[in-house]
Amino acid sequence: MDWLNAIVQGTLLGGLYALFAAGLSLIFGVMRLVNIAHGDLIVLAAYLGLSTSIALGMHPLLVLVAVVPAMAGMGYVLQRGVLNRTLGDDILPPLLVTFGLSVIVQNALLEIYTADPRKMDAGGLETASVDLGGLTLGVLPVLTFAVAVGVIAGLQWVFYRTALGRAFRAVSDNQDIAQIMGLNKAHVFGLAMALSLAVVAVAGIFLGIRTSFDPSIGGGRLIFGFEAVIIGGLGNLWGTLAGGVILGVAQTVGAAIDPGWQLLAGHLVFLLILAIRPNGLFPRMDG
């Protein structure tokens, strides 16, 4: 039962990791940009949620209404104001600029909120659970997983069923020709980053309700998201969810063996998959 429990809890944890990963996957798909500050932006969203929730006395889940558009707007401005200038054949500028951004966000948060761990108060939601024949499922992890599935289904729909998604795919395929079709790629990239940070906002809020957080944990969240993307296979959103689940299960099973092994087990499973399936478990089939 312990093992079953570890696997179920790990699967649910994987939902959170998929939320970390989805935004990363999205912008890589559209503009081949890897945002090193992604994890720090998740933490930023958590703090934004915390402050809004305290200031307005609102439930942390309700502040999504404010944090999601705020992060999306920030994403658009960030992309058009800074990141678009870094895109090109050379991979160095986007990497180093987002790396600098990561340090800035982290230290700005440190300046404002100090290094003390904080947590969002979601009342009864945090402890509520349902008993399923000896298996205890927390309502919050189940909700997180459901939201992750919803977010990925939503992104999938946007990508393959809407004009915006067509624009994303067209620009991703061939920037010049997309431009000739009247698509302003700077704007399309801005929208992609806005969408990415909207997902980051959701991820940050659920992170902040689930565990305590401090300004230094962004790097770790980036790594989890990145591992989920690579395990699942680049460019495959459902694969990213599967990657998150595999990572989550590896961690909880590792922790069940020895608490010190939680993170290490996750990394080792990632490296193992990288060794045997370098393109991930479910690489996108083109065509």
Partner 1 sequence: MSVTYDVTRSSQAARIAAGLGAVILLLLIAAPWWAGRAELRLIGEICLFLSLASLWNLMAGYAGLVSVGQQAYVGFGGYMLFALTIFGGLHPLAAIALAGVLGALVSVPVAALIFRLRGAYFAIGTWVMAEVFRLSFAQVSALGGGSGTSLPTDIVRSLAEGRAAREALAYWLALAASVLVVASVYLFLRSRRGLALTAIRDNELAAASLGIDIWRTKFVVYVVTSALTAMVGALIFLQKLRISPDAAFSVNDWTAFVIFIVVIGGIGTIEGPIIGTLLFFALRETLADLGTTYLLVLGSVAIVVMLKAPKGVWGLIRSRFDLELFPLGFRVRRTDQKGA
Partner 2 sequence: MTGLDAFYGDFQALYGLDLHLDAGEVLAIIGANGAGKTTLLRSIAGLIRNRPEAIRFRGSPVGALRADQVAGLGIALVPEGRQLFPSLSVEENLIIGGRVGRKGPWSLDAVYRLFPILKERRNQASTSLSGGQQQMVAIGRALMANPDLILFDEISLGLAPIIIRDIYAALPGIVGDGMSAILVEQDISKALSVSSRVYCLQEGRVSLEGASDALLREAISRAYFGIA
For residue 173, CA distances in Å to 31, 91, 116 come to 9, 18, 45
Q: Which stretch binds partner 1 (CB under 8 A): 46-54, 123-131, 137-145, 273-281?
A: 273-281
Q: Which of 59, 169, 187, 267 binds partner 1 (CB under 8 A)?
A: 267
Q: How far apart are CA 199 and CA 227, in angstroms?
A: 17
Q: How far apart are CA 201 and CA 72, in angstroms?
A: 8
Kindly tell me which of 124 and 287 has the beta carbon lying closer to partner 2: 287
Please list, in sequence order, all residues whose beta carbon lies within 8 angstroms of the beta carbon of residue 277, skipping any fewer than 6 positions away. Answer: none
Q: How far apart are CA 277 and CA 283, in angstroms?
A: 10
287 contacts partner 2 (rule: CB under 8 A) = yes
Which of 39, 242, 16, 246 lies closest to 146 in space, CA to CA?
A: 16
Q: Token pair 């404010």 is at which residue?
A: 66
Kindly tell me which of 116 and 173 has the beta carbon lying closer to partner 2: 173
Q: Which of 138, 154, 165, 219 binds partner 1 (CB under 8 A)?
A: 219
Write phi, then psi, for 246 (nearest 5 degrees): -60, -45
Q: Which stretch binds partner 2 (CB under 8 A): 45-53, 120-128, 174-182, 214-222?
A: 174-182
Which of 25, 18, 73 lies closest to 45 in space, CA to CA?
A: 73
In a 3-state reduction of DSSP, which class is residue 119? coil
Q: Which of 31, 64, 70, 101 binds partner 1 (CB under 8 A)?
A: 101
88 contacts partner 2 (rule: CB under 8 A) = no
In a 3-state reduction of DSSP, which class is residue 170? helix
286 contacts partner 2 (rule: CB under 8 A) = yes
89 contacts partner 2 (rule: CB under 8 A) = no
85 contacts partner 2 (rule: CB under 8 A) = no
Kindly tell me which of 122 and 222 has the beta carbon lying closer to partner 1: 222
Q: How far apart are CA 240 and CA 229, in angstroms?
A: 5
Distance from chain centroid for Cα 278: 21
x-or-dash string of contact with partner 2, 130-169, rule CB under 8 A: ---------------------------------x--xx-x
> Which of partner 1, partner 2, none interacts with 183 (beta carbon under 5 to 8 A by kind)?
partner 2
Q: Which of 58, 66, 82, 281 binds partner 1 (CB under 8 A)?
A: 82
In a 3-state reduction of DSSP, which class is residue 111? helix
Enumerate binding residues for partner 2 (CB under 8 A).
163, 166-167, 169-170, 172-174, 176-185, 286-287
Residues lying near partner 1 in the complex (CB under 8 A): 32-34, 36, 82, 85-86, 91-97, 99-104, 107-108, 110-111, 219-220, 222-223, 226-227, 230, 260-261, 263-264, 267-268, 270-271, 274-275, 278
